[in-house]
Structure 1
């Protein structure tokens, strides 16, 4: 009998080990948010630090890892982080935006728990509350391919992250007061690269080092709040290999326009004379050119970087033509966007076309930005919580903007904007830029196919110009002045998801909306239940939880 029991115990132990090994790995982090002194432009000012760091720590993960991240808010204001471009499959609860989450109050903490399921690529995280993004709190997030899935290029000698962005010398509280007072932010005061600007006096410490003859991977993200940047490496070319989670056709570029919210990965080979070189970031589409540099040092190199910097391109037509060269690498073995097979997107019938036109105007004498005539305001109860607790009718109305806005919008109203989208429908979204400033739009929870950007006004006849074969699957797209951009995607990821302007003064003053994708079956196959630790606020704070979803 004892032998039988021993065999049974061994079988149970072996079974439990198989289950344990089958579960994807966990990565645990504890982050403490504090204010501290930073000097991105050489002048000390108050910034937001994560574990004492600016920029924040780099999250280094692998496809399908589970990330558990406990955030302690030691600031004096409510705070939230979002994971820009990371697709929270069935889990908008962890997206970290005010339409889904209650903010982390001062002195409190919240633990994010999400899985980077079926993804690879270069991403970033940043604050979405108030104007905190203008003070720091941002960092890089990389998702490496699993060893079993080869990448379409040899392993680089090292993997570096470049976080470049515009910067304002006024503090984030002053910037918020300007916007609350009905003014815009104006132009930036400078540009930083990883929170620094090289002085060029021969005493700068290098941001990165390279060994002669070796190739390095650089993940480049624009973490700024309103300015497109051109990134280039002095005397070196870049081979583009990945963009926002998709392997690309490996074209070679002398420089790349990286718009706000976008991330690219490039390969750079150390094939020049061993010495110092500059990585250069310049503002684009601004009246005043602002340029910043950082040092890249060859190991055993001799000599400073040349003061002659490679010039930036001129005009937005150059940038538009560069966009047209971006192509998805369809032969690479990698995670594909869901649903699997949607890379044959050109043969899927469109079920709904939604045009989103950005407009600016005054409401009660103060500047507001709007979409189709409605400027978004956050209700006290997050939209997703109101929907889950079946009190949505007390908080917002669905489809309160027209799918096809009029050519002229004379009046702006204030409201939450929520589009009700049918689960698994294939949608066409047209971003119309009716203004003279460049726009940048992001969709959380999804990747979309960026099929076209063109000048002028969109008409159905423009579909004949779409790239229906190998448009890059990505999550952020720019729209040039007086132009439009078209994206296609299947709304198969249930949840409440944010479409937002990445131009942060526009975002703060109303240029965002949410899409609601509900599971008709209320099933765990489509969407996770509300997490036990989720912060509650507004009218649902003291309400009993609804019955959970089941399989």
Structure 2
């Protein structure tokens, strides 16, 4: 569909009252994306990848707070496809969330038009394919939300703004990885690390790739760093340069300086870098951490007017040990004086004074179901239903498709056998909930919650107990959407479930997510009102048990 066709379609949807209309002052951004396979060689040998408009990584979306984003996606793959918008809250609109529990996949040869508003958000985010293991093949890209001109940001405008997508990369195709996981084998270690789709050096010649970024001496630049990988946390640093952290997962932070930053799976950070070194080439570095192996990618930053002499080969080493990383996390603080869009709950700075109505403790585990490797939360390894859970709720057939609350708010006994089933829990609309993520395993875990920002209030070693609350940061914890859990440790988050919909809480480790370490959280409006949730859009794809059923009456 051409740009004009998409615009007419969007206007029609607003006129018929089935897609949320917005105030005339909120602009629309239109995109048409063709999703195809293509051949790339990021590690020196050809691989099949998922491209968007022929690009790897995909196109960058550059938007402003309250913009309406319309993305018309054509699927030219030989398999179903979905895009999810990592960190975009989709207020009242889980219909656009793009995961298996909310949307039917776009069939091969089909198309679907996403329409969502980046309402009251700012910051650095990314999109990615959510079907199976497709994220391991590409299909991801950056998504930034700028503050409106009327809302000042707590730092001067940078000379330029760069998106930096870092992540581990597998040598095998995503279809091969899927077969491995389905057969019970492990995903295996990554083959390398990429920065914006490049490893940094030509494998045949050993020479550095051409510079990815150009700067001018005396200027300051913003770098938006997102870990879009599948398996590992990464340490990020820039040779001979300090980084001033200014934003994290959509929240302005206190502006501390760092020589390096640990960026865990699914997380984004914005830093300001002053080009105050002698004009020459410098390395940007991303390397694996908390692993027995070390994989490193580099990218060249070139000062304008410098010689083309290569950067110093003395690449700065990354810190070691998760205790260092834990202490770095403790230094992150929310900037309470910055003007910006405010995350839930209702923009309150006083989250620490809100009464907790429920505590949900989730413990990750590994086990076997029917002889095959599975991962789970509280003894349940999640499996998706042929009918997205959101559609089952909307059409009133949940009892036929899945049951709520097959797990409790406390973990199952350690010796209880793992079961595989749809893992969906209920949370009462607007309740303020504490979620404990406990990790008894010797590896770092990472989680993301769709549809929300939460307050990352605490971390600690061993098992969480109610006494652990004494160490919570109840004043200025950063509001964010992704959190790590260190080995044999716990992390605590708090949030108000004020966003109606069906929302995915998942491990960001692709193999664990694919094999069941995730669940869905259902937040239902008791009034069934359009004030709380938008109606199902008229272009919604239907699949599973709802095909052929009469459409429920719209919300009023």
Query: What interval of TM-score do these two structures reach, taking the shorter chain for normalisation?
Result: over 0.9
Q: Does 1:259 align with 2:264?
A: yes
1:137-156: CA deviation from partner (whole Å, max 9, x where unpaired): 00000000000000000000
Q: Which runs of 4+ in 1 moved over 4 A?
A: 200-203
Question: Aligned to 1:490, which of 484, 496, 510?
Answer: 496
The corresponding residue for 1:335 is 341
**SS at 1:423's partner residue?**
coil
Q: Does 1:468 align with 2:474?
A: yes
Distance 2:362 2:192 in 1: 31
The corresponding residue for 1:232 is 237
Q: Does 1:46 align with 2:48?
A: yes
Answer yes or no: is the 8 Å Cα contact 2:448–2:506 preserved in 1: yes
Answer yes or no: is the 8 Å Cα contact 2:344–2:495 preserved in 1: no
The corresponding residue for 1:542 is 548
Q: Does 1:387 align with 2:389?
A: no
TM-score under structure 2 length normalisation = 0.94
Question: Aligned to 1:110, which of 109, 112, 117?
Answer: 112
Shift of 1:444: 0.3
The corresponding residue for 1:270 is 275
**SS at 1:187's partner residue?**
coil
Shift of 1:402: 1.2
1:315-348: CA deviation from partner (whole Å, max 9, x where unpaired): 1111111000000000000011123243210100
Structure 1 unaligned residues grouped into runs of 5+: 1-18
**SS at 2:95's partner residue?**
helix
Distance 2:414 2:475 in 1: 34
Distance 2:174 2:378 in 1: 29
Answer yes or no: is the 8 Å Cα contact 1:167–1:224 preserved in 2: yes
The corresponding residue for 1:11 is none
Select between 348-357 and 183-192 the one with higher mean Cα deviation. Answer: 183-192
The corresponding residue for 2:227 is 222
Answer yes or no: is the 8 Å Cα contact 1:372–1:409 preserved in 2: no
Select between 159-168 and 191-200 the one with higher mean Cα deviation. Answer: 191-200
Answer yes or no: is the 8 Å Cα contact 1:233–1:255 preserved in 2: yes
Distance 2:230 2:347 in 1: 35
Question: Aligned to 1:451, which of 447, 457, 467?
Answer: 457
Shift of 1:42: 1.6
Question: Aligned to 1:126, which of 122, 125, 128?
Answer: 128
Answer yes or no: is the 8 Å Cα contact 1:373–1:409 preserved in 2: no
Question: Aligned to 1:295, which of 266, 278, 300?
Answer: 300
The corresponding residue for 2:434 is 428
Larger Rg: 1
Distance 2:232 2:386 in 1: 31
The corresponding residue for 2:184 is 182
Distance 1:178 1:343 in 2: 46
Shift of 1:204: 2.5
CA 1:255 to 1:526, structure 2 compared with 1: closer, same or farther past 3 Å? same
Distance 2:155 2:25 in 1: 29
Shift of 1:186: 1.9
Answer yes or no: is the 8 Å Cα contact 1:202–1:304 preserved in 2: no
Distance 1:505 1:521 in 2: 39
**SS at 1:343's partner residue?**
coil
**SS at 1:113's partner residue?**
strand
**SS at 1:446's partner residue?**
coil
Shift of 1:406: 3.6
1:14-59: CA deviation from partner (whole Å, max 9, x where unpaired): xxxxx99733000000000000001121211100000000000000
User: Which structure 2 residues correspond to residues 14-53 of structure 1 after superposition, within 5 A?
Assistant: 22-53=24-55
The RMSD of aligned alpha carbons is 1.1
Question: Aligned to 1:400, which of 406, 410, 427?
Answer: 406
Question: Aligned to 1:62, which of 43, 59, 64?
Answer: 64
Q: Does 1:350 align with 2:352?
A: no
Answer yes or no: is the 8 Å Cα contact 2:227–2:264 preserved in 1: yes
**SS at 1:432's partner residue?**
strand
Structure 2 unaligned residues grouped into runs of 5+: 1-20
Answer yes or no: is the 8 Å Cα contact 1:353–1:427 preserved in 2: yes
The corresponding residue for 1:142 is 144
Shift of 1:405: 1.1
Distance 1:308 1:254 in 2: 15
Answer yes or no: is the 8 Å Cα contact 2:379–2:412 preserved in 1: no
Work out the number of aligned pairs and report it: 532
